[in-house]
Structure 1
Amino acid sequence: MSGIPDDTLPDPVPLMGCPYKANPYPLYERMREASPVHRVLFPSGVQAWLVTGYEAARSALNDERLGKNHGRGNDHWRARASIMPEPQHSQLQVHLLHQDPPHHTRMRRFVTDAFTSRRIDQLRPRFQELADALVDGLPEHGPADLVTGFAARFPFQVLAEVIGLPPELAGRFDRDWGKVVQPVGPTDPGRPRYEARLHGLQGYIADVIAHKREHGEDDLLSRLVVARDRGELSQDELGSMIFQLLVAGQEPVTNQLTTALIALFHHPGQLARLRGDPDLLPRAVEELLRYDSAFELTTWRFFDRDSELHGTRVPAGDSVIVSLCAANRDPRRFPEPDTLDLDRGSNPHLAFGHGIHFCPGATLARTELQIALGTLLARLPGLHLSIKEEDLEWIPAVLGRGTHHLPVGYDQRL
């Protein structure tokens, strides 16, 4: 399935093509067995060093030598990877994912209160209302596309509630803007559309800031604007953090819903068991996150000097990326890792990362997945994939996994 013959792995290993996106796990298995670190090649022409094993991945995610700030990237990396043009790169790429301490520590404290377990639990009934309303809008009988009808809408509606995005602004958000995180090189025919997305998203963020400055409330977006006006955040940091919330806060959950449902469709016995025993949902969600994570690869990390990484010499400024999916299928950590086991006990997967960059929205994402899967299975009896699994259209994103559409059938809508 990897598209690479069973012989010596090439250098660099190409991470591209439809077979790879549909099922990268056979290739990851070969890479893990050969070495914890490999040079890889992405469709944009960017080369990076990929970490694949569980212990190696966990160590790299917690390695203080590896920084996230793009200023650490060398000229060779920057020539290919700094795809977002100026001034947008400087204005939208200084969010939490691209910061190191102490800047990361200072910025992260502004968002953590909005995503505490206590607050998310308080909002659970509202999230359930949103999920039920979306299911109410599906056809009484199949077929339906669960991406356009549910998975692409539910996470954004939930996010709007959590961060304080008012309905009038939430209704204006164009999901197409989220594609600005998918690399499009300067000579790509799709470059003009890519830049149009950037300008559209920047204009939208400016409108959100203006609205919150005039109609401030006790919510995350208002607090970020107040922090900017007090000089605690720069203008670019404010715009970047809102950019991260809008894009990273909803698209990965959309994708995780598709990978989770596809995994359950592939294991109908497990699906039936989960439908019959909703109490399994919290544990099932952890296993589905491990089995096929929407966060397939992390974003860039860099050494500031030539360094050793698990026996491989990595030049300063080259990008280091961790494969969360490869780590989560490592048999040295997870017995029978290619089996979807809803009874799996210890499940310290890395789907949300590890260390100081552990996803601050992990509790929210877990709650969304539990509510979404529980609602869909309970209210759509006979839910099944209505096309062949090999005909699914996987998104071409470099770092993430998910499908553009998820055509399903079901007996009725309850």
Structure 2
Amino acid sequence: MTLHEPMPATDAEPLPDPVPLMGCPYKADPYPLYARMREAGPVHRVLFPSGVQAWLVTGYDAAHLALNDDRLGKNHDRGNDRWRARASIMPEPQHSQLQVHLLHQDPPVHTRMRRFVTDAFTPRRIEELRPRFQELADALVDALPEAGPADLVTGFAAHFPFQVLAEVIGLPPELSARFDRDWGKVVQPVGPTDPGRPLYEARLHGLQSYIADVVTHQREHGGDDLLGRLVAARDRRELTRAQLDSMIFQLLVAGQEPVTNQIATALIALFRNPDQLARLRDDPDLLPRAVEELLRYDSAFELTTWRFFDQDNALHGTGVPAGDSVIVSLCAANRDPRRFPDPDTLDLDRTPNPHLAFGHGIHFCPGAALARAELRIALGTLLARLPGLHLAIDDADIEWIPAVLGRGTDHLPVGYDRRL
């Protein structure tokens, strides 16, 4: 069977065109739909809640090729008017000021900008900081109730990744304490006529003002940390003001919210597979391999951000007009049975495990080593210090966030016997 051949037909109803990617059932469990799409072919036109239509790539081989396809660029200037009318919803001037970060750049600009951040996230540096990360995790568990119930998002997962990020990038405590996690919701689309638009714009202005304060503080007090180096690069005119603000925006939002969600999705996966939870609790040496499998099994970064052809092109046999958005489903790729045997089973012994949870190619997540360390510490600490850890609500009552690109929940009520 080749990439261009669909898998054998099933008795399922034909997929609509476009395929709607919205609604509570879809967010709660998108995998049955992704399986149908993979079986029908590697590329499908899809419809998002904002009304934007895009081309979704499913299947592991197709995803891997798309992530490495240099015909597909990330710069928003490539988007056509149809895309811009509905997808480019962050208002001006904020769109121009906050949306020119690494995720929306192409070489050679992307190459130059990425060099400023890679040193801060090397595996060696992350390992050196690991004892401090463990201190932060233990302090958060110390603050939980002595016995359940507790909410492991509001009590742990919503704080741990940001505290770690602050250590890594050099965000001082006084500014770290002022950060409002609610600002991260500016990446969740809210159209111009949506009743929630005023709140969206208030979040956007609050975050932009915060970024300005970060820049001012680093210019006056910054040292040899990532934020200090970025501000110094701006002062040397190696970065524009918009690039500086956008990179800080990306660090603050993309650098912590996906890890918050991944901690939650990993815990949910373990709650649904209590035998695997028990194995991991009893054998912490499984953590490195377990984290890779949990990333594959239910990635918090469900879909990639937009990519565009600069001229009409074919993608795996499907014609895609210039400026239409192309999105890769990382979750669909990671459950492809042609790459992963028994892909819907959580198997902590799975090896090799070449999942695409962090993307691939030039846009591979620069913070992957940090995210892996955070997940190992978070899961290891929670399982070791909260014996009897279990979900305290019905699985069906988990409220999945309505984010377009990500998977997660804002609340995860749990019970446990005691806090060690």
TM range (shorter): over 0.9
Report matched runs for 1:237-248 at 5 Å: 237-248=243-254
Residue of 343, 364, 374 corresponding to 1:368: 374
Q: Distance in 1 between matches of 2:410 and 2:15?
A: 30
Match for residue 325 of structure 2? 319
Q: Distance in 1 between matches of 2:222 and 2:412?
A: 38
Q: Distance in 1 between matches of 2:293 and 2:156?
A: 22
Q: Distance in 2 between matches of 1:33 and 1:366?
A: 31
Q: Is residue 190 of structure 1 aligned with residue 196 of structure 2?
A: yes
CA deviation digits over 1:6-47, x for unaligned, max 9?
300000000000000000000000000001000000000010
Q: List structure 1 segments (4+ residues) > 4 angstroms apart after TM superposition.
A: none
Match for residue 158 of structure 1? 164
Match for residue 176 of structure 2? 170
Q: CA deviation at 1:92?
A: 0.2
Match for residue 57 of structure 1? 63
Q: Distance in 2 between matches of 1:233 and 1:367?
A: 30
Q: Give the unaligned 5+ runs of structure 1.
A: none
Q: CA deviation at 1:385?
A: 0.2
Q: Distance in 2 between matches of 1:190 and 1:14?
A: 22
Match for residue 386 of structure 1? 392
Quick one: which amino acid aligns to residue 25 of structure 2? P
Q: Is residue 253 of structure 1 aligned with residue 259 of structure 2?
A: yes
Report % sequence identity: 86
Quick one: which amino acid aligns to residue 363 of structure 1? A
Q: Distance in 2 between matches of 1:36 and 1:240?
A: 33
Residue of 3, 7, 16 corresponding to 2:13: 7
Match for residue 4 of structure 2? none
Match for residue 139 of structure 1? 145
Q: Distance in 1 between matches of 2:260 and 2:81?
A: 35
Residue of 319, 327, 337 corresponding to 1:331: 337
Q: Distance in 2 between matches of 1:187 and 1:142?
A: 42
Q: Is residue 213 of structure 1 aligned with residue 219 of structure 2?
A: yes
Q: Distance in 2 between matches of 1:271 and 1:342?
A: 10
Q: Give the unaligned 5+ runs of structure 2.
A: 1-10
Match for residue 86 of structure 2? 80
Q: Distance in 2 between matches of 1:209 and 1:173?
A: 14
Q: CA deviation at 1:201?
A: 0.3
Quick one: which amino acid aligns to residue 157 of structure 1? Q
Q: Is residue 17 of structure 1 aligned with residue 55 of structure 2?
A: no
Residue of 394, 406, 414 corresponding to 2:412: 406
Q: Is residue 396 of structure 1 aligned with residue 402 of structure 2?
A: yes
Q: Distance in 2 between matches of 1:275 and 1:235?
A: 47
Q: Distance in 1 between matches of 2:141 and 2:405?
A: 29
Q: CA deviation at 1:187?
A: 0.2
Q: CA deviation at 1:216?
A: 1.5
Q: Is residue 224 of structure 1 aligned with residue 227 of structure 2?
A: no
Secondary structure in 2 aligned to 1:11?
coil
Match for residue 130 of structure 1? 136
**Number of residues of Structure 1 aligned to a counterpart in Structure 2:** 410
Q: Distance in 1 between matches of 2:16 and 2:301?
A: 25
Q: CA deviation at 1:404?
A: 1.2
For normalisation by structure 2, the TM-score amounts to 0.97
For normalisation by structure 1, the TM-score amounts to 0.99
CA deviation digits over 1:165-218, x for unaligned, max 9?
000000000000000000000000000000000100000000000000000111
Q: Distance in 1 between matches of 2:162 and 2:291?
A: 19
Q: Distance in 1 between matches of 2:266 and 2:208?
A: 32
Secondary structure in 2 aligned to 1:111?
helix
